[in-house]
């Protein structure tokens, strides 16, 4: 049942993209392939993607992302209309999910590339032990000590550069919905609180602890677990990560939580919520549901003092898992990406 009300973050740390490839991409960016402001990328994927205006959205657009590569491939094949559709994704900043093997190198690569473009990196940390209750995105660090070492590596890689971190999608929610066995709860609280403390010790890093989504039927049960996980020491919390709840529903949900955790602000993942959640037939409505659309473009200009930003934490066009014809979780799913873009305004 919890699949129907929570939605998973879906396996980025084990997404089938090797660390070698990720680091090679980061090195390529640092060698001069990223835009140095609002200009177009001249040397990267060939997609010509631009950074968004900094005053509207300070987060870095990766010119070597999957969407940018798809734009270049469609252009090369003469599929100009499809290329323009995927450009809707490629030209927006999305979260960079740090893998399990080389956290320091990946965090450094992304933050240095963002700094070169005079932008902030948006990073997602998803490596908690017993992740996703053994389902599509199962995995995570081997134990608590391995996780602490991983967080230390991420922090060292970020250094004093500007970064916004979304911390452990679903980790708190899965304790509340009992998906994560109770014997692991105390350790998880300690790990999350320790991660918040470590990351907040950095000079220019903001941390948002994940707090589930508006499809969760018992939000009143989240307040204490969020506090025990360190939300009061964080900059705020994130909602709707990898989910499809509408922005208005997410605002209402976030404000309810905020009122119980010291008035903390929050960010909303709007990456695929343009048509709200899927209510059609078939199991796992959170997994590559048909007929969805991109949501509001990322921005810090939300018009709401409690909503720090709309962000695309989930990378549109990457699969939720091996359902509805999709590849493994986190792998690029071009047909789905195109459908999302075409259904958007």
The residues carrying an active-site annotation are: 132, 170, 320
**How many Cα atoms within 13 Å fall on the side-chain side of residue 297?**
16
Instruction: Note whether 236 and 308 are within 8 A (CB).
Output: yes
Which distant-in-sequence residues (6+ apart) come within 8 Å of 281 by Cβ? none
SS3 content of the chain, % helix, strand, coil (to 5): 35, 10, 50
Task: Give the distance, in angstroms, between the CA of residue 120 and the centroid of all CA atoms in the same chain.
Answer: 14
Q: Determine how many CB atoms are found less than 10 A away from the CB of residue 32.
A: 11
- Largest Cα–Cα separation, the chain: 56
Name the residue among 221, 302, 298, 305 with its Cα closest to residue 264: 305
Instruction: Note whether 169 and 192 are within 8 A (CB).
Output: no
Pairing, β 236-239 against β 205-210: parallel
In this structure, what are the phi and psi dihedrals at residue 124, rounded to the nearest 5 degrees? -120, 125
In this structure, what are the phi and psi dihedrals at residue 302, rounded to the nearest 5 degrees? -90, -15
Name the residue among 300, 338, 302 with its Cα closest to residue 66: 338
* The token pair that represents 183 in the structure block: 């014997």
Q: Determine how many CB atoms are found less than 10 A away from the CB of residue 337.
A: 25
Task: Give the distance, in angstroms, between the CA of residue 34 and the centroid of all CA atoms in the same chain.
Answer: 21
Query: What does 289-320 look like in DSSP terms, one character per residue?
Result: -TT----SPPBS--S-TTEEEEEB-S-TTB-S
**Residue recorded with tokens 């270049």:** 72
Coil, strand, or helix at residue 206? Answer: strand
């Amino acid at each position: 049942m919890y699949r129907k009300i929570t939605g998973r973050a879906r396996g980025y740390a084990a997404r089938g993209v090797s660390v070698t490839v990720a680091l090679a991409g980061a090195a390529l960016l640092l060698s001069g392939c990223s835009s140095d402001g609002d200009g177009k990328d001249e040397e990267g994927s060939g997609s010509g993607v631009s950074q968004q205006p900094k005053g509207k959205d300070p987060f870095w657009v990766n010119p070597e992302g999957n969407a940018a590569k798809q734009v270049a491939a469609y252009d090369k094949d003469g599929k100009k209309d499809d290329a323009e559709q995927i450009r809707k994704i490629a030209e927006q900043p999305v979260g960079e999910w740090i893998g399990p093997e080389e956290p320091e190198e990946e965090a450094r690569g992304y933050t240095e590339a963002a700094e070169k473009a005079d932008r902030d990196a948006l990073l997602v940390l998803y490596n908690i032990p017993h992740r996703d209750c053994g389902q599509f995105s199962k995995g995570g660090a081997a134990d608590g000590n391995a996780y602490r070492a991983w967080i230390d590596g991420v922090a060292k890689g970020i250094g004093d550069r500007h970064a916004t971190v979304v911390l452990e999608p679903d980790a708190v929610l899965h304790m509340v919905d009992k998906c994560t066995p109770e014997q692991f709860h105390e350790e998880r609280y300690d790990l999350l609180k320790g991660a918040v403390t470590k990351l907040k010790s950095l000079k220019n890093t903001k941390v948002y602890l994940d707090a589930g989504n508006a499809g969760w039927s018992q939000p009143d049960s989240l307040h204490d677990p969020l506090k025990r996980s360190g939300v009061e020491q964080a900059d705020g919390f994130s909602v709707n990560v990898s989910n499809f709840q509408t922005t208005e529903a997410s605002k209402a949900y976030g404000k309810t939580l905020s009122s119980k955790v010291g008035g903390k602000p929050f960010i909303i993942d709007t990456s695929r919520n343009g048509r709200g959640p899927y209510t059609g037939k078939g199991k796992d409505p959170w997994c590559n549901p048909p007929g969805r659309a991109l949501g509001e473009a990322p921005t810090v200009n939300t018009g709401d003092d409690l909503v720090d930003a709309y962000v695309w934490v989930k990378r549109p066009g990457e699969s939720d898992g091996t359902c509805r014809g999709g590849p493994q979780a986190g792998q690029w799913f071009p047909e789905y990406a195109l459908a999302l873009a075409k259904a958007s305004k």
